[in-house]
Each structure stands twice: as C-alpha cells, then as structure tokens.
A and B are shown apart, each in its own frame.
Chain A
C-alpha cells in the first residue's frame, strides 16, 4: 500500500503552498510516532516501491544511506514523512552516528515542526520511545537490495 496519502499531499500543498514562497516558516512543537527511513530510496524508486524500502528488509541499506549523509525521514503511521534535520544530541545531521543507531527503528519523537514548500521538517529535541525495528518486511521481501547481504563463502 502506498503510504503517502493523497489527502495528506493535498493538505501539505495547501498548508505550504498557500504561504508566500520564501517566507520563513513558523515552528510548532509536535510529537510524532513512526519509522526512520532512507528518504532517497523511498522517494526515488531506485530500488522499487516505497513498501520494499522500509523495515528490516531495507535495514542494511538504511544504514548505508544514513552513513552517506542522505537525509533520514520519520515516516509517521499516517503516511506523513518528516525530514529529520536534527536528532536530539546528535550534532551531525548529515551522516552522524545517532542516525545509524536508530535506522529502521520505530520512534516516538518530540520536536519542532516546520512546513515549507510542501515538505515537513522536524528538529527532534528528544526521542521519547525507541521500539527498535518493528516492521518485519524481510518476511515478505527478503533483503532490498539483494546484495545487501554478501553470499557466505563456502568453506
């Protein structure tokens, strides 16, 4: 199932698009529950549709992308994507260790939300709950990409 809902998209367009382009957005405090995801694979389709690039199936790739500095998203349970600009005490938002530690995890995070040009950005002040990986997509999809796990060497 596609998880970014059309209704959410329209709401995003309205909330962001109706603001004057270039105008500074005003932040508000929010609490979001969702999965941390690799946004490039999610939005670009480079490895398939959105469902196959979440959860345990895509965990190793999510580690690689987080280490590579690709923006990490928090995909809320209602399908809304929040681009994470800062994660608590982690000072490096472009490849920092803190993002690797929670790759593919289900988090409840509190922070400041900014909406700009249809994109939701969140500066996370605190991770309230870390439930680890709960989206067991490997059971359906295996691993994505297939080369994420090297073939064991024959002894």
Chain B
C-alpha cells in the first residue's frame, strides 16, 4: 500500500463517527456497560434520515413514521440513535420528533464494539434545544405508545407485554415465531425441573 493509500485510510478513519473524537467532556450520561460504550455530549441538528439521504423531505420529518438522526455540528457526521433513555425496547424517534430540523444538544452513549462495526450508534438520554437551560429526559416512547393504544395502556404490566400487535403475533406464531406446536414443545423443556 502506498503512503497515499495509508494517509487516505487514516483520513477515512478520522472521518468515521465516534472513532476519532472524544465527545465525553461535560457528559452526565449514565453508563449502561455496553459494547464499546463512550459517553457523548454534542450539538447537532435533528434530521429525517430518508430526507438527508434521498431528498424526500416531508415538512414534519414524517410525523413519527420515520427514523430520525443527529447531524453532528463538530464533523457533520450523521449519527444514528438506536435507543432512547428508557430501560428496554424503545427507540428514539418519539424523543427526537419535537426537535425536527432544529438545533439541539444531546447527552448519551455512543455504543458498538470496534471489532464488529466501524461506526458507533447512539443512545440518547437527554436532549434540549440549543440555548435552552433545561434538559429533557429522552423517555417519550411509552407516552406515545399509550396514546396509540389507550385500552392496552390501561391494563397492568409493562407496555411490551400489552402491545396488541405483539400479543396477536405471539398468539398466532408463538414466542419463537415458529408456530404454536414448536413453542409448546420448547416451553415444556425450557421450564422443566
């Protein structure tokens, strides 16, 4: 490999989100003990990913029907949040939507094992519009879910046990997704003893 090629590779690594820069300064994010976890607080613009990539840009960032991302000010990297700050199974779209196309500051975790992935993804724990004093916790998913499924929300238990769509699919295909007969045999063995 020529010197130029090595230089190009080094430049590429530096341009890759989460690898070259340290965004931990000033972060108050909680550690979750995740793969390659790094605290990261930075300013960015909230963008609709499809819009950013393809130019298909509804005014409201899709109104909750699209994945949203953070176009980081420091390096213009498109940082993709996979998770909000709630304990389990909830994405970040509901938390980012109120800030569609706005400048924000976020605090959270960059995650991803560098042996497995060249990039890091984001878990947003706190968000505020640039210039605002108060941080908002990124915990809006369950509220949005309860508005969509009010009858299920009124029942006892965590949302994921009550989601009518999930319950219907498990009722039809089983917990393993392989049919009720396979499920029955597995469950008998799984809970034996």
- B126: Cβ under 8 A from any A Cβ: no
Task: Give Cα A30 to B123, complex, Å.
Answer: 29
Q: Judging by beta carbons under 8 Å apart, are A45 and B113 in contact? A: yes
Task: Give Cα A20 to B177, complex, Å.
Answer: 43
Q: Judging by beta carbons under 8 Å apart, are B17 and A149 in contact? A: no
Total interface residues in chain A, CB < 8 Å: 70
Q: Judging by beta carbons under 8 Å apart, are A85 and B67 in contact? A: yes
Q: Judging by beta carbons under 8 Å apart, are B117 and A69 in contact? A: no
User: Given A45-B34, A71-B67, A71-B91, is A2 in contact with B187 using a C-beta cutoff of 8 Å?
Assistant: no
Q: Judging by beta carbons under 8 Å apart, are B91 and A24 in contact? A: no
Interface majority SS (helix, strand, loop, mixed), chain A:
mixed
Mark contacts of B150-193 with chain A using CB atoms, 8 A cut-off: 1 yes-contact digit, 0 otherwise. 00000000001001011001100001111000000011001100
Q: Judging by beta carbons under 8 Å apart, are B118 and A9 in contact? A: yes
Q: Judging by beta carbons under 8 Å apart, are B67 and A103 in contact? A: no
Task: Give Cα A59 to B122, complex, Å.
Answer: 23
Task: Give Cα A83 to B90, complex, Å.
Answer: 16
Q: Judging by beta carbons under 8 Å apart, are A116 and B35 in contact? A: no
Q: Judging by beta carbons under 8 Å apart, are A100 and B165 in contact? A: yes
Task: Give Cα A99 to B114, complex, Å.
Answer: 28
List A37-87 residues whose CB lies under 8 Å from chain B: 39-40, 43-46, 50, 56-57, 59-61, 63-65, 67-71, 81, 83, 85-86
Q: Judging by beta carbons under 8 Å apart, are B54 and A27 in contact? A: yes
Q: Judging by beta carbons under 8 Å apart, are A64 and B160 in contact? A: yes
List B55-106 residues whose CB lies under 8 Å from chain A: 55, 62, 64-67, 71, 75-80, 82-83, 88-94
Task: Give Cα A149 to B117, complex, Å.
Answer: 30
Task: Give Cα A33 to B14, complex, Å.
Answer: 31
Q: Judging by beta carbons under 8 Å apart, are A67 and B176 in contact? A: no
In-complex Cβ contact of A148 among B83, B119, B175 (8 A)? B175
Q: Judging by beta carbons under 8 Å apart, are A94 and B53 in contact? A: no
User: Given A56-B178, A70-B91, A93-B66, is A43 in contact with B116 using a C-beta cutoff of 8 Å?
Assistant: yes
Task: Give Cα A105 to B178, complex, Å.
Answer: 10
Collect the chain B residues with CB atoms within 8 Å of residue A148's CB: 175
Collect the chain A residues with CB atoms within 8 Å of residue B133's CB: none
Q: Judging by beta carbons under 8 Å apart, are B75 and A21 in contact? A: yes
Q: Judging by beta carbons under 8 Å apart, are A44 and B76 in contact? A: no
Task: Give Cα A118 to B176, complex, Å.
Answer: 32
Residues of chain B touching chain A, judged by Cβ–Cβ distance below 8 Å, are: 8-9, 11-17, 32, 34-35, 49-50, 52-55, 62, 64-67, 71, 75-80, 82-83, 88-94, 111-113, 115-119, 121, 123, 141, 145, 160, 163, 165-166, 169-170, 175-178, 186-187, 190-191
Residues of chain A touching chain B, judged by Cβ–Cβ distance below 8 Å, are: 2-4, 6, 9-10, 12-14, 16-18, 21-22, 24-25, 27, 39-40, 43-46, 50, 56-57, 59-61, 63-65, 67-71, 81, 83, 85-86, 91-97, 100-101, 103-104, 112, 114, 116-119, 121, 123, 132-133, 136, 138, 142-143, 148-149, 151-152
Task: List 23 A-B residue pairs with CB atoms under 8 Å apart, sorted by A's residue number.
Answer: A9-B118, A17-B12, A22-B76, A39-B121, A40-B82, A40-B91, A40-B121, A43-B111, A43-B121, A63-B169, A67-B163, A67-B165, A69-B90, A70-B90, A83-B67, A92-B65, A93-B66, A94-B93, A97-B165, A112-B54, A119-B78, A149-B190, A152-B191
